[in-house]
Amino acid sequence: MNNGTTKIVVLGTAGVGKTTVLKALINHPNTKRMFDATILVTVSRYWSTTKIQNQVLRQLSLSREYSETDSQVAERLLGVLKVRKFLLILDDLWEQIDLGAVGIPDSNSENRCKIIMAFRKLDSGHDKNEFKVVEIKTVSEKEARELFYEHVGRIIRSSDIQSFAETIVKGCGGLPLLIIVTGRALAEENDVSKWRDASIKFSLSRTSNGCQTEDVIQRLKFSFDQLKEHDVKSCFLHCALFPEDQDVNIFNFIEYCIKEGLVTGVAQADAKKRGRYIVDVLVSASLLQVTEGGKSIKMHDLIRDLALGILSSVQKDSKFPLRVGDQFLLSAYSRSMELFNSGSSSPSTSLCVPEGNQFLLRTGAGLAEPPSEEEWKHAKMVLLSDNELCTLPEEPNCPELLTLFLQRNCFLRVIPPSFFNYMTSLEVLNLSGTRIQSLPETLVKLEKLLILILQDCKCLFMLPSEVGFLVRLEVLDLQGTEIDKLPDEHGELEFLRRLEVPFYGSIDDGEYVKLPRQLISCGIISKLFNLETLCIVLYPGDARWHEDVKYIKTEVCKLKKLSSLCFHFPEIEHVQEFLTASDPWKNKLLMEFKFVVGREVKDISSHIPDFLDFDYNQQRQCLRFVNGEKKPDEVLQILARSTAFYLDNHLDIESLSNFGLSNVNGLKFCLICECPRIKTVVRVDEVEEDTNAAFPLLETLSIHRLWNLTSIWEGILPEGSFAQLRILSLHGCPKLEYVFRSSMIQYLCKLEELVIEDCRGIEQIIVEEEPTHSDSVVLPSLKKLTLHYLPALVNICRGPWPLFEYISFYRCPNLKKIGIDSKLKDVMIKAEKSWWDGLEWENDELCLHLENCSTIIFQDRL
């Protein structure tokens, strides 16, 4: 408020709370009365005039014209701001900047404008007579203790813990960020040994106001180490890949993490739920900040330094060549992933603030043009995924580059011929989801390449022979490409540990005859004796495989290190040889498998939706038995070890329990499609006397086009049957007249989602076997209900409904009443308007209540 002071420097070490103080200043009532405009710009270490101008323009409700240069924008800003009394706050400054070049007029006593600049420290180049310095000091020891105790919670009252807590508080050096993050990391931790270990780490050297940023980061890493789950750590580090100070939409971030394979679930919905949980964990730990009213997240710049330090760190005492960061960024490919499972802490590493030019991070930045070649020069990690790049530098000179991410740049079609000339240190290359049609010959220059990921490059039809010269290659992922033959040179990749390859086929006979006669030459697979993961995916009905498999299965049996295998056995004889000759299978070392047994046929369209196929493939031990007959012993052996079973067009099986409940009771996921003789899923007379329950672990049951199905099960099953069932879907079962009998409901206490489509015989969802007057809710966990194309449906159930979150009705013309009561709210209901308007309500108030308390979406077409 002093008119004589026009420039103020806010000074304080990283994490002391400068940004918090400045935001409080902006929100102060006096500030709002004093100025016409208040502008907050986060400058950061790697600032540019354009970046600062764009922030100023946005806060003045202006925009940059497409062809405007920085100098033209500066001239326009000068004109706007000269006539306004403004407060400009420049946060996170690392050096002096020319405000005139940005377009900021000088502040003086005449225009009564103010400029506040926040620095971590001032260098000798600053003239301290130009401004007033306000130093943000660390909090007192008493304040630090109170802040720490507030975030730790009640557990701090334990006398066994308090002495360790005092040491930790002192070790935080009065820095609010470090106090809060550390307190959150130890919240409700009742293991005294954990507190003892933490106190030792925080007492090694005392953090003070004059400490180095490296000391603070090393202490912040304690909070990262306290994260118990590998996917939480991976998602945290991936957040640092987005441009500095960028608010990242939470929904987009979760989608990104799912695409990267960091977040998985039994179903896609589970993966999204898991992603939301992970974000909540990181926000609760204060490692991420929520912005934009809870829609987005961002990282504090010091937390970002922590993440980048971890990404660039090197694991001690390990022969594994990848850095710690790569093990998190590429968790699906990392041989050392087990180091981070079961709540184990990350490897011992020494962190420091990495130099800015080590990282070129522009993930999800909307780039249409690549960064300049100068920016590539000293980079060790270049991460440009999820942009709109259509070109790349012709010949970037970046001899120190270790990791290059270009995935999901869907406009990128060509890799320049000389692009790899000066990337001789490159270890990881990810080109997934681009539209490249080939790889340049300069690929041979990547002599140190360990991981090559080309997943979902749908325009890539062939690999160059040069790939065979990447002698150190350990991972080659070609899933989702259109490769028609594996080059013979791949047999030279003797260090290859992971090979994933699909083969292109064609339903068109004219095109099919032009394809190579062999998919993989004889002797290639047997040379890859270090393989741990082998995934071969075939085009349905590709007859070439029927010849190749005769020798390839024999070669696969010789691979002693396999722990994961995806393979197609067209004949039972092939399965028999594998089960008797493969040591990994016999010794139960094959921890993950996806087997197809039987001859597939070409089909123009699948009756199974893509999301369900995705959910099936999320399982670790999968068996698909297609076009089969009877119950071959070899199939039963595999089924007994499987967690997912896809029974496709079996010709004579009448119920799933025909396979023997002892063989199917380990299933978590079951998909049944087009089996013409199946009448019921479980026949009670086939339940063995010594069986405690039927399908006790099953979580998902999806049934498609079973024309003779009349029931899911009949009779009384043992207690515990279907106890874990969460998702049940029925599609195209015309003889089914009901879904459940009332006596079945007791088994389904965990059922969350019920989908019934195109079952024209269904009259009731739940049939009451005897009159009941119970007011208890049936299916208490049910959250989602979908009823489509059910022309005979007249009733769902008697009694109160569960507290649904989502209900969808479509083409159920004879359903006139629904049992919703006034307790139901915050539910999304989708229905045809004409059907909804024709419903018979017990009272008009209930209809009005639903329309006021729920989201009603009228859909006349699906």
Q: What DSSP letter does each residue of 738-796 carry, written as one string?
A: EEEEGGGGGG-TT--EEEEES-TT--EEEE-SS-----SPSSTT--EEEEES-TT--B-
DSSP annotation of 372: P
Q: What is the mean pLDDT of residues 563-588?
A: 95
> Distance between alpha carbon 535 and the CA centroid of its chain, in Å?
22
Q: What is the mean pLDDT of residues 709-734?
A: 91
Helix (H, G, I), strand (E, B) or coil at 192: helix
Closest by CA position to 258, among listed 247, 269, 248: 269
User: Is residue 535 within a helix (H) or strand (E), and if so which, with residue range?
Assistant: strand 533-537
Give 331's Cβ-side CA count (13 Å radius). 23
CA distances from 351 to 214, 218, 279, 805 (A): 7, 6, 24, 46
User: Is residue 626 within a helix (H) or strand (E), and if so which, with residue range?
Assistant: strand 621-626
- Lowest-pLDDT range of 46-55, 135-144, 278-287: 46-55
**Residue 421, C-beta contacts closer than 8 angstroms, at least 6 positions apart:** 395, 442, 445
Contact in structure between 732 and 705 (CB atoms under 8 Å): yes
Which stretch, 199-208, 344-353, 701-710, has highest mean pLDDT?
701-710
User: Is residue 827 within a helix (H) or strand (E), and if so which, with residue range?
Assistant: none
pLDDT score of 259: 85
3-state helix, strand, coil in the chain (%, to 5): 35, 15, 50
- Lowest-pLDDT range of 6-15, 502-511, 745-754: 502-511
Distance CA 268, CA 280 (A): 19
pLDDT score of 320: 46
pTM (2 d.p.):
0.84
- For residue 642, give the amino acid letter: S
User: Quick check: 335 pLDDT over 80?
Assistant: no
pLDDT score of 125: 61
**β-sheet with 296-298: strand ranges across:** 248-249, 296-298, 289-291
Share of residues in the chain with pLDDT > 70 (%): 91
Share of residues in the chain with pLDDT > 90 (%): 53
pLDDT score of 689: 62
Residue that the structure tokens 């007791």 belong to? 746
Which neighbouring-strand residues pair with 646?
624, 671
Q: Is 412 exposed, middle or buried (0-12, 13-18, 19+ CB in 10 A)?
A: buried
Q: pLDDT confidence of 453, banded at 50, 70, 90?
A: very high
User: Quick check: 337 pLDDT over 50?
Assistant: no
Closest by CA position to 261, among listed 317, 333, 206, 204: 333
- pLDDT tens-digit series, residues 732-753: 999 999 999 888 888 899 999 9
- pLDDT tens-digit series, residues 422-437: 999 999 999 999 999 9
**Residue 396, C-beta contacts closer than 8 angstroms, at least 6 positions apart:** 373, 376, 377, 419, 422, 423
pLDDT score of 464: 87
Distance CA 731, CA 274 (A): 27
Distance CA 798, CA 293 (A): 42
Q: In degrees rounded to 5, what are phi and psi of residue 187?
A: -60, 125
Distance CA 400, CA 424 (A): 8
Residues in the chain: 862
User: To 10 degrees, the CA torsion angle through 821, 824, 830, 832?
Assistant: 20
- Lowest-pLDDT range of 205-209, 395-399, 419-423: 205-209
Q: pLDDT confidence of 355, banded at 50, 70, 90?
A: low
Q: pLDDT confidence of 814, banded at 50, 70, 90?
A: very high
- Lowest-pLDDT range of 228-232, 387-391, 791-795: 228-232
User: Quick check: 345 pLDDT over 50?
Assistant: no
Higher-pLDDT residue of 690 and 757 is 757
- Mean pLDDT of all residues in the chain? 87
CA distances from 253 to 262, 300, 303, 306 (A): 11, 17, 18, 19
Q: What would the two tokens of residue 126 be?
A: 């600053």
DSSP one-letter string for 151-168: HH-GGGG-HHHHHHHHHH
